[in-house]
A and B are shown apart, each in its own frame.
Chain A
Amino acid sequence: MAEFKLEKGAPFAGCELPLTLGSARLEMVDITAITAVMPLKGQAMAVVKAIKTALAAPLPMVGEVVQAKAAELVWFGPGQWLVFYQNPKPVTDALQGLAAVVDQSGGWLVLELSGTDAAQVMARLCSLDIERLAVGRVARTEFCHVSAMIIPREKGYQIAVPRSFAISVYEHTAIAMRSVAAQALLDN
């Protein structure tokens, strides 16, 4: 047996991040852990109670995002939630036997698009009525033709995409940012 340590990789290696073009800025958001939580039949209340105890937060309603002190809970689909946090163990332990609990920490990457041109850039990448998406909501939709989660923040939009699409999503977003910036100059 050899002594060695596996290090975490850099999914956006080779991509300029943060990236500022015109009045839009793109940066990567660090995430530590993500857990998918799917309550077993008849255990919905027990799951709610366990989450309340472990995270002092309710389980989000359909399309909702809940900010807790040590976690962010996101509605993901019928009977499915994602928890974004640093320390999964207390939660995954508390949910034993109550829910199907699956590690998703490696599967998602999160980018944040901000700036006064953010909405214009989003319009080129996403068919959602982005202005009508309020803070506190999550939208699962296509972003750059990739299944994504869009969470609006005060300063912009957080976009979670599956890891393998990282480079593709970055390139498309950078192209849209460049285009919007150039068009703004043209209009002037």
Chain B
Amino acid sequence: MSRLPTGGQVDRAAQVSFKFDGKTYAAYSGDTVASALLANDVRLMGRSFKYHRPRGVFTAGSEEPNALLEIGRGAAQLPNTRATMQEIYNGLEARSQNRWPNLNFDMMSFTDFLAPFLSAGFYYKTFMWPRKFWLKIYEPVIRRAAGLGRISGKADTAKYDKAWLHCDLLVIGSGPAGLMAALSAGKAGAKVVLAEEDFLAGGRLNGENLTISGQRGADWAAETVKKLRAMENVIVMTRTAITGAYDGGTYGALQRVSDHVAQAGAAPQQIFWRIVAKQAILAAGAHERPIAFPNNDRPGIMLASAVRTYLHRFGVAAGARVTVFSNNDEGIQTARDLLAAGVEVAALIDTRKDITPEIDCPVLTGSKVIGTKGYLGLKSVSVQRQDGSVTQISTDCLAVAGGWNPSVHLSSHMGRKPVWRDDILAFVPDKNAVPNMHYAGATTGEFSTRAALNSGLEAARAALLALGLSSKRVTLPKVEEAAFDNLAPMQIEGKSRAWLDFQNDVTVKDIKLAHRENFRSVEHMKRYTTLGMATDQGKTSNMGALAVMAELTGQSIPETGTTMFRPPFSPVQMGALAGRNTGKHFLPERRLTSDKFSREMGADWMEAGLWLRPGWFKREGETRWRQSCDREVRMVRNAVGICDVTSLGKIDVQGPDAVAFLNLLYVNKMSTLKIGKVRYGAMLREDGLVMDDGTVARLGETHYLITTTTGAAGQVMAHMEFCSQCLWSELDVHFVSVTEQWAQFAVAGPKSRELLNGLLDTPIDNDVMPYMSCGDAGLGGVAARLFRISFSGEHAYEIAVPAGYGAALMAVLVKAAEAMDGGAYGLEALSVLRIEKGFLTHAEIDGRMTADDLGLGRMVAAKDCIGREMSERVGLVQERQQLVGLKPIGTVKQIVQGAVMVDVGAAPVADNLLGHVSSTCFSPTLEHCLALGFVKNGRARMGDQVRAVDLTQGIDTLCEITSPVFFDPDGGRLRG
């Protein structure tokens, strides 16, 4: 093989150099790695998956099964890259895969000799004995031997974008059909996106020597693309594979932005697009069928259409002495094209008996290839002539033409299988498979160029009609060519293996084995043999396999059917699906108004949903978080602490029916709540279990402010919207989230009132603001709201200002607190404080607890509300696990969160489970570990001993069951 002196669409003025397996070669801009290697007489490109047989490139396109290379180095190394799709650039480094130590001499090739033991499904029948060997020997060895390419193991440094694109018409494929469709629709004024997987538009036109309207087909294509790019309403996207068809006219598309340059720089490597198209035209062409014959997998054996593509598009002769093997006219065309380019054609072998092609090379009709020789590359083929005699032909390249399979994949992505056409002996898309999708060209069985052009126009007409646009006149270009006859998929028997799936090393013998073992449906055959499950998804093998199975079962090919095609059509890197949402950007971040201030104070951060909240504020001398946390707890209990609690949901509720609405949402009777008062409440789900807890503050006659937990804010809002819009739309109630509107801070501790009175315009006392009250307040020139509520169990308030003033207020509050031996405190201390008081969070309200389980039974009023009826069903009332406090009383001082509760002396197994530990902490106030948890009939077992057992860490703690309110049980500190 070599580069021909002229011809091809590569840029012979732009020479580049690249490396393959450490050796440097020359190529031209416009080459793929495959064409560049062939041009340099390199045809051994890989070793097969199972048998490690030497392999070369088989195709010139996206369906390539063999030539899979590693491209790049270091973190950017990409395995399993099709050499036929990788564009050449200067400095490209490529390596072959699945061989050791090198491609020419692969130690693992002994597996080929074990072939009789390694047929399909061998691993279902082996590696079972002795059982011990699996974990230590078989699995590690198989793991190392399995797979093709290797990933670097380093974090991917490439950047990927994700983006959206909307259009009237998506044309998939830029061959003659797609180009005509895009041109016609573009002229009619539709917004058109033309997507082409290759870097050069034109489809088959680039691989053939056709004449269209007096021009070379490839030139006509280039001119048409130029016209399209000049249209403002047309977007031409080359290097863009449409990977999937989804509901609602949404298509996935992978655009390879920088895969063809050495450095992406700040540009993304790839973009994963979601394209929303009102109409689509699938003009994806067809894949050539191989012919299965013994030893049909040697380097140098390739599809005839690929040989023609290497010739016409890349100016490369795939062999020095080429043999053509065909069951249709394309064999003749291939031989003609090669001869015209000055390439020696050893013979044209045609299976058909009654043809008499006029061609200047040896012709064998009614003949077939029955064997090949040449381990590292094809050396000769054995041919059985019509009369039965066998001859050897010395050759270094065999071009195989077995007919065409329309590329129907995208049409099947929504679950409708393609339909068989007896007249062309091929599957074509079901016209109704994808809503608003039309089909054109070889995809729909129109194999000739003229038919493709025409069907592109027809498809565009149909799409434009659906869009309500009228087609403008577009002249159909003239093409002269013969009709094409597809023959049934063909395989040739012989003693040696005949390959069907090159990538997963599945042969005709394997299909027969599957049939013998009764895996006869195509779906079983696929999984049992793994045919069609490799990265090429069986594009060159599916058809051949089901033809074999059809023959074995005596069914027709359509009766046998195809397997399901699913997205993606071609491989998509995980990074492209993640886009920019990786690492810190995996989720959006929500920051408090006090965020900057807290950062300057050196806070350590914790995630609460999407919010970032300070966990603790480390002071000088503190080296471990517990030191900070314990200090903050003492600070709140003894002086005063400030905590930003903005993240809790706040919803403003107004209207004449506001209280009626709240009565239906909460278990409590909210109608007795007076203006200026606050009440703790719980909301249930309709199945009777507690959904969330929070407070309801009555600010005015028909004006309420409710709070939720941070984590459930969105859920509660959606629930309220559902109740208002769907269940009780007759109620005159209106609400809106004010979580973001108000920055809110807890001021907690015995000195809290003193601190506030140093800041407020009007001082407060226990009469003005008793426990569980609320009202307007002013400070620093700003209108604020004050709530006397406590999550710490201390005398405490929450003060809210419009968010713009949040940062300033935090600074003022912390300064004032520090002047009183207090300061800022974070989530860890907040957690300890509330556990000491038996207050609840979603650690307890985990969706499995009733109000009564949580000790809130008394709050449930005798009225209808969401969940009231179901909360009283038998299963939620009897033998329940109830909230209790737990205190360690043995030698083990630690209680582990998530530990299971069992009685003393009982084994920690499912039958003996009494409950679990929901929250734990070390209490600096009481100086021992505390926990909240659930124990069956816990309230009746005060003082009993139980065990909290953490089976993952092996920690078994003897506990006493206590009230969950460990500290200040009478609540005197709250009410002062």
Chain A residues in the interface with B (C-beta under 8 A): 1-2, 4-9, 11, 13-14, 36, 38, 40-42, 78-80, 99-100, 102-108, 123-124, 126-129, 131-132, 144-146, 162-169, 171-172, 175-176, 178-179, 181-183, 185-186
The one of A6, A11, A13, A99 that contacts B781, using a Cβ cutoff of 8 Å = A6
Q: Give the distance in Å from the alpha carbon of A169 to the alpha carbon of B255 in the complex.
A: 25
Q: Contact: A129 with B276, CB < 8 Å?
A: yes
- A6-B805 contact in complex given A100-B655, A176-B161, C-beta closer than 8 Å: yes
Assess whether A123 is in contact with B165, with CB atoms less than 8 Å apart.
yes
A129 to B678, CA, bound (A): 46
B821 at interface, CB cutoff 8 A:
no
1/0 per position for B590-602, CB-CB distance to A under 8 A?
1111001000000
Q: Are A38 and B161 in contact (CB under 8 A)?
A: no
Are the CB atoms of B585 and A41 closer together than 8 Å? Answer: no
* Closest chain B CB from A98 CB (angstroms): 12
Determine which of A163, A175, A186 lies in contact with B803 in the assembled complex, contact meaning CB atoms within 8 Å.
A163
CB atoms of B587 and A145 under 8 A apart: yes
| B801 CB contacts on chain A under 8 angstroms | 6
- How many chain B residues touch A (CB < 8 A): the figure is 66
Contact yes or no, A103 B588, CB < 8 A: no
B268 interface residue per 8 A CB criterion = yes
Shortest Cβ gap from A111 to chain B (Å): 14
CB-based contact A144/B757 at 8 Å:
no
9 contacts between A and B (CB under 8 A): A8-B808, A104-B736, A107-B737, A126-B164, A129-B276, A164-B590, A164-B646, A168-B588, A182-B267
Q: How far is the CB of A65 from chain B (nearest CB, A)?
A: 19
B808 adjacent to A9 (CB under 8 Å): yes
**A164 and B740 in contact, given A78-B725, A105-B802, A172-B585 (Cβ under 8 angstroms):** yes
- Given known contacts A9-B806, A164-B590, A167-B591, A38 and B736 CB-to-CB distance under 8 angstroms: yes
Residue interface bits B736-752, CB-to-A below 8 A is 1, else 0: 11111111000000000
A-B CB contacts (within 8 Å), total count:
161
- B802 nearest in chain A by CB position: A106
**B588 near A1: Cβ-Cβ < 8 Å:** no
Contact between A107 and B738 (Cβ–Cβ < 8 Å)? yes
Partner of B734 from the list A38, A165, A172 (CB cut-off 8 Å) is: A38
From B266, B585, B732, A171 is in contact (CB under 8 Å) with B585
A9 touches B164 (CB 8 A): no
B717 to chain A, nearest CB (A): 11
B390 at the interface (CB under 8 A from A): no
Q: Chain B binding site: helix, strand, loop or mixed by DSSP?
A: mixed
Task: Report whether A9 and B804 are in contact in the complex, using a CB–CB cutoff of 8 Å.
Answer: yes
Q: Which residues on B sit within 8 Å (CB–CB) of A13?
A: 596
Given A105-B804, A106-B740, A107-B740, decide whether A127 and B585 contact each other with a Cβ distance below 8 A: no
Measured CA separation A176–B581 after assembly (Å): 12
Is there contact, CB below 8 Å, between B759 and A1?
yes
Contacts A5-B780, A163-B740, A169-B588 given; does A107 touch B732 at CB 8 Å? no
Of A2, A42, A102, A181, which one neighbours B652 at CB under 8 angstroms? A102
Q: Which residues of chain A have C-beta atoms less than 8 A from B581's C-beta?
A: 145
Complex Cα gap A108–B760 (Å): 27
Q: A100-B654, A107-B738 are in contact. List 9 more A-B contacts (CB 8 A).
A: A4-B759, A5-B780, A6-B780, A9-B804, A103-B741, A104-B741, A107-B741, A162-B590, A179-B267
What separation, in Å, do the CA atoms of A38 and B742 have in the docked complex? Answer: 19
By the criterion CB–CB under 8 Å, are B781 and A102 in contact? no
Q: How far is the CB of B639 from chain A (nearest CB, A)?
A: 19
- Asked, given contacts A36-B736, A123-B163, A129-B166, whether A105 binds B276 with beta carbons under 8 Å apart, the answer is no
Q: Which of B257, B268, B585, B780 has the most CB of A within 10 A?
A: B268
Contacts A104-B738, A106-B803: A124 and B162 contacting too (C-beta < 8 A)? yes
B: residues with CB less than 8 A from A are: 159, 161-166, 257-258, 261, 264-268, 274, 276, 580-581, 585, 587-593, 596, 611, 646, 652, 654-656, 725, 732, 734-743, 757-761, 763, 779-782, 801-809, 812
Closest-CB distance, B778 to chain A (whole angstroms): 10
**A169 CA to B801 CA in the complex, in Å?**
24
CB-based contact A40/B656 at 8 Å: yes
A168 to B587, alpha carbons, bound, how many Å? 9
CA distance A166 to B758 in the complex (A): 33
Do the beta carbons of B734 and A40 come within 8 Å of each other?
A: yes
Q: Which residue of A lies closest to B782 (CB)?
A: A6
Within the assembled complex, what's the spacing in Å between the Cα atoms of A149 and B592?
A: 21
Contact partner of A106 (CB less than 8 A), chosen from B591, B592, B742, is B742
Evaluate contact between B763 and A100: CB separation under 8 angstroms. no
- A43 to chain B: closest residue by CB: B732
A14 CB, min distance to chain B CBs, angstroms: 8
Q: Are B588 and A186 in contact, with the CB atoms below 8 A?
A: no
- Contact in complex: B759, A2 (CB < 8 Å): yes
In the complex formed, the residue of A with least CB distance to B803 is A106
Residue of A nearest to B586 (CB): A145
Contact A6 B588 (CB under 8 A): no
What are the residues of chain B within 8 A of A165 when measuring CB–CB?
Answer: 588-590
Q: In the complex, what residues of B have CB within 8 A of residue A127's CB?
A: 164, 274
For the complex of A and B, list the 9 residue pairs with the smallest distance between their C-beta atoms, beginning with the closest.
Answer: A106-B803, A6-B780, A182-B266, A107-B740, A100-B654, A9-B807, A38-B734, A164-B590, A182-B267
A124/B590 in contact, CB under 8 A: no
> In the complex, A59→B236 CA distance in Å?
43
CB neighbours of B780 from chain A (8 A): 4-6
How far does the alpha carbon of A41 sit from the alpha carbon of B733 in the complex, in Å? Answer: 8
The interface residues of chain B lying within 8 Å CB-to-CB of A38 are 654, 734, 736
Instruction: Tell me the bound Cα distance from A58 to B425 in angstroms.
Output: 66
| Contacts A2-B758, A164-B592 given; does A7 touch B741 at CB 8 Å | no
Partner of A179, one of B266, B738, B802: B266
**In contact, A108 and B759 (Cβ under 8 angstroms):** no
Contact in complex: B805, A9 (CB < 8 Å): yes
Q: Which residue of B lies closest to A122 (CB)?
A: B164
A6 CA to B808 CA, complexed, in Å: 6
Which residues of chain B come closer than 8 Å to A166, judged between CB atoms? 591
Q: How far is the CA of A4 from the CA of B276 in the complex (A)?
A: 56
Shortest Cβ distance from residue B601 to the other chain A in the assembled complex, whole angstroms: 16
Residue from B656, B780, B801 having most chain A Cβ neighbours under 10 A: B780
Bound complex: CA A169 to CA B590 (Å): 10
The answer to whether B161 and A185 touch across the interface, beta carbons within 8 angstroms, is: no
**Shortest Cβ distance from residue B163 to the other chain A in the assembled complex, whole angstroms:** 5
A124 & B725 in contact (Cβ 8 Å cutoff): no
CB pair B809–A6 under 8 Å, yes or no, is yes
Give Cα A71 to B808, complex, Å.
Answer: 28
Look across to chain A and name the residue whose beta carbon is closest to the beta carbon of B162: A124
A123 with B740: in contact, given A9-B808, A78-B725 (CB under 8 Å)? no
Which of A14, A36, A128, A178 is within 8 Å of B266, CB to CB?
Answer: A178
- Determine the distance from Cα of A128 to Cα of B165 in the docked complex, in whole angstroms: 9
Q: Is B164 in contact with A7, judged by CB distance below 8 angstroms?
A: no
Min C-beta distance of A183 to chain B, whole Å: 5
For residue A104, give the distance in angstroms from its CB to the closest CB of chain B.
6
Please measure, in the bound complex, the distance between the C-alpha atom of A185 and the C-alpha atom of B654, giving whole angstroms: 54
Is the pair B734, A100 in contact by a Cβ cutoff of 8 Å?
A: yes
Would A183 and B257 be within 8 Å (CB), given that A104-B738, A106-B803, A127-B274 are in contact? yes
Q: Which residues of chain B come closer than 8 Å to A178, judged between CB atoms?
A: 266
CA distance in complex: A124, B656 (Å): 44
Query: How many whole Å from B195's CB to the nearest CB in chain A?
Result: 16
Look across to chain B and name the residue whose beta carbon is closest to the beta carbon of A80. B736
Q: Specify which chain B residues have a CB less than 8 angstroms from the CB of A104 in the assembled complex.
A: 736, 738, 741
Contacts of A14 in B (CB 8 A): 596
Q: How far is the CA of A8 from the CA of B781 in the complex (A)?
A: 11
* A185-B265 Cα distance, complex, nearest whole Å: 10
Inter-subunit contact B808/A7 (CB<8 Å): yes
Is B261's CB under 8 angstroms from A186's CB? yes
Bound-complex Cα distance A47 to B809 (A): 36
Least CB separation from A143: chain B residue = B588
Residue of B nearest to A14 (CB): B596
Q: Check B161–A124 contact: CB distance below 8 A.
A: yes
CA distance A5 to B580 in the complex (A): 42
Given contacts A106-B803, A107-B803, A164-B611, A4 and B812 within 8 Å (CB-CB): yes
Residues of A close to B159: CB separation below 8 A:
179
